[in-house]
Structure 1
Amino acid sequence: MSDSPLPGLPIGYRSRPATMTDVEAIHRLVAACEHRLHGRAMTDADGIAADLGQPGLDLASGTVLVHDHGGRPAGWGWVRGRRSTVDVHPDHRGRELGGSLLAWVEAGARSMGGDRLAQTVPDGDRAAVALLRSRGYSPLVTEWLLEIALPDEPVAPEPPEGIVVRPFRPGDGRAVHQLAEDAFDEWQQRRQSYEEWARHTVERATFEPAASPIAFAGDQMVGAVLSLNGPGKDEGNSEGYVERVAVRRDHRNRGIARMLLREAFRAFHAHGMRTCTLWTHSDTGALSLYERIGMTVRRSSTVYSKTLTPRLPGDLVRGQ
């Protein structure tokens, strides 16, 4: 694929759209960012593949990969609808790459007819926070990464009366998708198609059915936890990760979510994992639930949002 110049790109760098063959290279870039910020990688390669393969993302027009003069990835970004991501390799920060990439995703969102753009940034990444704030972004919601240590086998409470629990089975995907989308309707901005949802959950290579318990009341699915094997196996610090927790509205406040989470923790412990994590955010109101079962906040991120206005020709964003 021929290079596609990124407006405002510093001298010595070149850019082109990303492809699925770039997954490993992008993963190394993202892992380097996470190592610098958190001391460990938090994203695995199949998470990058899920982002690049999300339905509706046109790789040719919705992604960009920046290389330095030696051909090494220095930064990347993608934009789809109102969501975007920008990452700059730690060795290439301070060279205005972040500003150039941010201008690119904003221009991409405008070209798609978008009037607003959001991006999630770790609260510990002060340079990225400062760049977004300087460009008119404001906080929208707070996200927390919670963790629980599993030194001993967790004890799962008995299911509530009339509730039966079993692990995820092949063929459960569409019913769990319906359950989750119905449960999240009260706070999510839009419903995900099954294809989009599955790409980030049950179709991922790291999906762990044994740690994904499902609750039934009779023949009705009323709750589900979907889990992944987290990154870090090569570094000796693998941990379980809960990707989704959903309980049907008319069965809430019965202890079903707590029970399902404990079942997932127990399965991860049986697989030799001694830590489990999950993300939640302020719109869900679920933080207190997770804290009651012994989870604590490891770190936080903020979703920043900006209203997009038409930009004058030749305008250039400078930054990170």
Structure 2
Amino acid sequence: MSELLPALPTGYRARAASAEDLGAVHRLVTACERELYGRAQTDTGGVAADFARPGLVPESDTLLVHAPDGHLAAHAWVNRRSKVDVHPGHRGRGLGAALLDWAEARARQAGGAQIVQSVPDGDSAAVALLRSRGYEPMVTEWQLEFGLAEAAVPAVPEPPEGITVRPFRLGGAAGEHDARAAHRLVQDAFDAWQPRRMDYEEWARHTVERPAFAPAMSPLAFAGDQLVGGAIALDLPETGEGYLEQVAVRRDHRNRGIARLLLRHAFRAFQQQGRHTCSLWTHSDTGALALYLRVGMTVRHSSTVHRKRLGPARPPV
């Protein structure tokens, strides 16, 4: 990695990340979120799942930048996608541009034909930086929320004929069965728009193996013994809200009200746990925004996924 290390302001130093850095990276990410959104919304498990992406090698695909006082000032990783975060107290010093240069160089070195990064639309400086470097918008992402005040959550309707709903089971053979079935359901449902299928291990790190996974708030819909719909929930008490990581319905059971039914179950379960909101992300390729708006969710904020086509790696001088 040494040949790719970016030029940094005086006193700043860079190194690769390790497992011991996850806590510091999480604090950095939440500081950025509070500055931009007024609240933290990322848990440690989400950071750990990013750093465990298949094929990501921490020694070459991650970078931490420490300030002269030793505090973490910025971080980045690249593995098909990329992510760059600069602590609010260290912006305006060229760290974002330096890490963007590093991410592009590393992607080229690894043979990537493009690099993709999602940036909040409200972060005008980051958007301007990407556009100045030749990045183009691909899709829009929206974070939606539903307020869980007692009067706001409608009663859970009766399921469609032939459909039963129960919570996700955790542990033992039954939990393993639910997890494997949910993985297949989600990957099949998302095939139309996601760039690749996740294998079970990668999917599990983002969902059922995260410390925040909430099986009691994760309703599953069955036709007989076949799983035909599911909502995978995370409980984030430190933020005061619930979060739906994934919502999926099997293609041959869509347009029957199953997704709305699952959302109502999840909203009610989080309300009973004392959470004040439930949120989720969706994006323009899924076509699901209208559904979420119809059930009463509102857009909290948006991001845009940007892409840059990469030329061949420059030969060493």
Instruction: Report the TM-score when normalising by structure 1.
Output: 0.93
Could you say which residue in structure 2 is the equivalent of 1:33?
Answer: 32
Counterpart of 1:253?
Answer: 255
Q: Which runs of 4+ in 1 moved over 4 A?
A: 2-5, 311-315
Aligned to 1:105: 103
CA drift at 1:70: 1.2
Match of 1:159 in 2: 159
Q: Is the 8 A contact 1:115 1:307 kept in 2?
A: yes
Match of 2:65 in 1: 66
Contact (CA 8 Å) 1:76, 1:86: kept in 2 or not? yes
Q: Which residue matches 1:188?
A: 194
| Counterparts of 2:307 and 2:55, CA distance in 1 | 21
> In the TM superposition, what is the alpha-carbon distance from 1:4 to its structure 2 partner?
8.6
Match of 1:135 among 133, 136, 144: 133
Give the equivalent residue in structure 2 for 1:90. Answer: 88
| Letter of the 2:311 counterpart | T
Give the corresponding residue for 1:318: none
Instruction: Please state whether the residue corresponding to 1:33 is helix, strand or coil.
Output: helix
Identity, % of aligned positions = 63
User: Is the 1:5–1:15 contact (alpha carbons within 8 Å) kept by the matching residues of 2?
Assistant: no
C-alpha offsets along residues 95-135 of structure 1, whole Å, 9 cap, x if unaligned? Answer: 11111100111111111110011000000000100100000
- Select between 98-107 and 50-59 the one with higher mean Cα deviation: 50-59
Q: Contact 1:154/1:265 (CA < 8 Å) preserved in 2? A: no
Separation in 2, partners of 1:314, 1:10: 24
Per-residue deviation at 1:311? Answer: 5.5
Match of 1:56 in 2: 55
SS in 2 for 1:207: coil
Q: Give the one of 218, 221, 226 matched to 1:220.
A: 226
What's 1:116 paired with?
114
**How far does residue 6 in structure 1 lie from its aligned partner after superposition?**
2.0
- Deviation (angstroms), 1:3: 8.6
1:310 lines up with 2:312 in the alignment: yes
The residue correspondences of 1:234-273 to structure 2 (distance < 5 A) are 237-273=239-275
Deviations 1:33-75 (A, max 9, x none): 1111111111112211111122221111110011011111000
Do the aligned partners of residues 32 and 3 (structure 1) sit closer, same or farther apart at CA in structure 2, a change above 3 Å counting? Answer: farther
Q: Tell me the amino acid that sits aligned with residue 298 of structure 1.
A: R
Paired residues, what number?
Answer: 309
Give the SS at the match of 2:128: helix
Q: After the TM superposition, which residues 274-285 of structure 1 pair with which residues of structure 2 at under 5 Å, given as runs?
A: 274-285=276-287
The equivalent of 2:168 in structure 1 is: 168
Gaps of 5+ in 2: 170-174
Q: Once the 2 structures are TM-superposed, how far is the Cα of residue 138 of structure 1 from its aligned partner?
A: 0.7
User: Aligned equivalents of 2:140 and 2:69: distance in 1?
Assistant: 38
2 CA distance for matches of 1:247 and 1:163?
Answer: 12
User: Aligned equivalents of 2:273 and 2:8: distance in 1?
Assistant: 46
Question: Quick one: distance in 1 between partners of 2:159 and 2:67?
Answer: 56
Amino acid at match of 1:155: A
SS at match of 1:145: strand
How far off its partner does 1:5 sit?
Answer: 7.5
Give RMSD over aligned pairs: 1.7
Letter of the 2:192 counterpart: E
Residue equivalent to 2:19: 20
Is this contact kept in 2: 1:223–1:257, CA < 8 A? yes
Q: Secondary structure of 1:18's match?
A: coil
1:139 is aligned with what amino acid? P
Q: Which residue does the alignment assign to 1:289?
A: 291
- In the alignment, does 2:3 pair up with 1:10? no
Please, what TM-score do these two structures have when normalized by structure 2? 0.94
Once the two structures are TM-superposed, the CA of residue 23 in structure 1 deviates from its matched residue by 0.9
Equivalent position SS for 1:181: helix
In the alignment, the residues of structure 2 paired with residue 225 and residue 195 of structure 1 have an alpha-carbon distance, to the nearest angstrom, of 19
What amino acid sits opposite 1:159 in the alignment?
Answer: P
Over residues 129-187 of structure 1, what are the superposed CA-to-partner deviations in whole Å (9 max), with x where a residue is unaligned? 01000000010000000001111154111110000111111121111000100001011
Q: Which residue number in structure 2 is paired with residue 204 of structure 1?
A: 210
Q: Which amino acid aligns with 1:156?
A: V
Shift of 1:32: 1.0
Asked if 2 retains the 8 angstrom alpha-carbon contact of 1:156 and 1:259, the reply is yes
Structure-1 separation of matches of 2:135 and 2:4: 26
